[in-house]
Amino acid sequence: MDILRELFDEYYHLIRPSVFKKTALHPQKAHDDFLLFCKFIHQTRLSSHLLNHSNNCSSLGISNAAGFNKNGEFPLEVMKDLGFTRAVVGTVTYDPWIGNPQPNIRRYPLTESMVNWMGLPGIGAKKIAEKLIAQQRCLRCSSVPITINLMSTPQKQGEEVLHDLKGTISARRHIPGVDRFELNISCPNTHAVSGKVDARKENLKQLGEMLSVVEEQVFEEQKILLKVSPDSTEKDVLDITTIAHQYKIAGFVTTNTTTHHRREFIPISPQNNGQQVGGASGNAVYQDSLRVQRLFAQQKKRNKEWIIIASGGINSLEKLKERFSEGASELQLFTPFIFSGPQLLRRFHRYFMSRDQ
Ligand SMILES: Cc1cc2nc3c(=O)[nH]c(=O)nc-3n(C[C@H](O)[C@H](O)[C@H](O)COP(=O)(O)O)c2cc1C
């Protein structure tokens, strides 16, 4: 069966350039086609033969990063076959939200980077809950655990934000397999009350109130994580960890995308009305992400139990090892998965299996 997987890897690399070319102006289309393909191989029971067989999974904690499975549309069994040991769903907002006009993603294949300014589109918490419950009912074998990444519906403010978070969690906490909630306080693509793009500053101001609501809503055994920005300053990290210390926070996902578009990775930034837009990921975020991960790792002196989940441009074993040596114990992938396909996860699992023996 390894031959089938190797053929699939070859195929992924062979068709990737033409898919990228065809969908250069609409990268979302490539994602939608990949989803259709995954659903097809799931229905025909081919996914475990073509992808990573679940028996290959090592002790490595590896999930998709949010945005890849926004509405819980990927069958959980396929997520497992792709090599993920956990599925992140979201960002889930309470109300359905249309997001920014498409196209709102740009790929930079030469530097294995992307910029997106999607603005948290989604079908809303209730519909996503129905989808996940339906999936859980028809699962053929044990599934992967689920993290819900959440934030309030864009443009809500004050009490409405808290009401949204409460509603999202209460619709989701009973779903079997949901054992983590990840609060996304780091999306650079949503509008603040002032109307300017980027609500991250406002999220920080309201963090204590938000955590109080989240903590009140989740069940005792469910963990709460904070997904943070690679653009955080040392002061931001101090402020966040001071507040997090007052709540039952299990740890941090370091990090989301960056508005710092390094020219060596993003030679031409997407623009809207003459203004640079979007958050950069993949190689373009790696350095900022690592810097912020280090700052959070230093703050583990406040609470040794905090875990760090590395996210941002982890596209090689060297980078995986670097992130783990700097305090991470799990990882999340999005952009590197787009450019490398499932073989990247297989490579990571193989390394961990040989390390575990
Ligand atoms: C197209 C796209 C959509 C994303 N949407 C979300 C999202 O809805 N919520 C979120 O927390 N992060 C989102 N992210 C950020 C990723 O989850 C991840 O943290 C970031 O891209 C860095 O990791 P990577 O280099 O592995 O992609 C998105 C990223 C991309 C590229």
The rounded distance, in Å, linking the Cα atoms of 36 and 39 is 5
Q: Which atom of ligand 1 is nearest to the CA of 257?
A: 20
List pocket residues of ligand 1, CB cut-off 6 Å. 65-67, 70, 91, 105, 114, 116, 118, 120, 149, 184, 187, 227, 256-257, 281-282, 285, 311-313, 333-336
- How many CB atoms within 10 Å of residue 127? 15
Probe residue for ligand 1, chosen from 334, 335, 337, 340 as the CB with the greatest number of ligand atoms within 8 Å: 334
The dihedral over CA atoms of 216, 222, 226, 227, expressed in degrees to the nearest 10, equals -130
- Length of the chain, in residues: 357
Output the pLDDT for position 42.
77
Is 54's pLDDT higher than 50?
no
Token pair belonging to 7: 């053929």
The helix (H) or strand (E) run that includes residue 3 is helix 2-22
Is 143's pLDDT higher than 80?
no
> Confidence class of residue 272 from pLDDT cuts 50, 70 and 90?
confident
Output the pLDDT for position 139.
53
Q: What is the mean pLDDT of residues 275-295?
A: 96
Is 260's pLDDT higher than 70?
yes
Sequence letter at residue 135: Q
Q: How far is the CA of 66 from the centre of ligand 1 (A)?
A: 5
The Cα-based distances of 354 to 61, 117, 318 in angstroms read 15, 39, 16
Q: Which atom of ligand 1 is nearest to the CA of 227?
A: 11
Domains of the chain and CATH, by start: 2-356 (3.20.20.70)
The rounded distance, in Å, linking the Cα atoms of 307 and 260 is 26
Q: What is the mean pLDDT of residues 340-355?
A: 87
Output the pLDDT for position 355.
81
Contact 177, 146 (CB under 8 A): yes
**Contacts with 353 (C-beta within 8 Å, 6 or more apart), sequence order:** 56, 58
Is 310's pLDDT higher than 70?
yes
Q: Which atom of ligand 1 is nearest to the CA of 285?
A: 25
The Cα-based distances of 136 to 49, 62, 88, 145, 252 in angstroms read 22, 20, 15, 11, 27
Q: What is the mean pLDDT of residues 23-40?
A: 86
> Confidence class of residue 189 from pLDDT cuts 50, 70 and 90?
confident
Q: What is the mean pLDDT of residues 96-104?
A: 88
Instruction: Tell which wins on pLDDT, 140 or 162.
Output: 162
325: Cα separation from own chain's centroid:
21
Q: How far is the CA of 340 from the centre of ligand 1 (A)?
A: 16
Q: Among residues 90, 231, 236, 98, which one has the least CA distance to residue 165?
A: 90
Question: How much of the chain exceeds pLDDT 90, in percent?
Answer: 54
> Confidence class of residue 142 from pLDDT cuts 50, 70 and 90?
low
The Cα-based distances of 276 to 151, 272, 273 in angstroms read 24, 6, 9
Is 62's pLDDT higher than 70?
yes
Output the pLDDT for position 357.
72
pLDDT 10s digits, 321-343? 999 999 999 999 999 999 998 88
Q: Among residues 209, 211, 70, 82, which one has the least CA distance to residue 147?
A: 70
The rounded distance, in Å, linking the Cα atoms of 118 and 112 is 19
pLDDT 10s digits, 219-251? 989 999 999 999 999 999 999 999 999 999 999
Q: What is the mean pLDDT of residues 126-131?
A: 90
The rounded distance, in Å, linking the Cα atoms of 51 and 9 is 9
Q: How much is the CA Rg of the chain, to the nearest whole Å?
A: 19
Instruction: Tell which wins on pLDDT, 355 or 235.
Output: 235
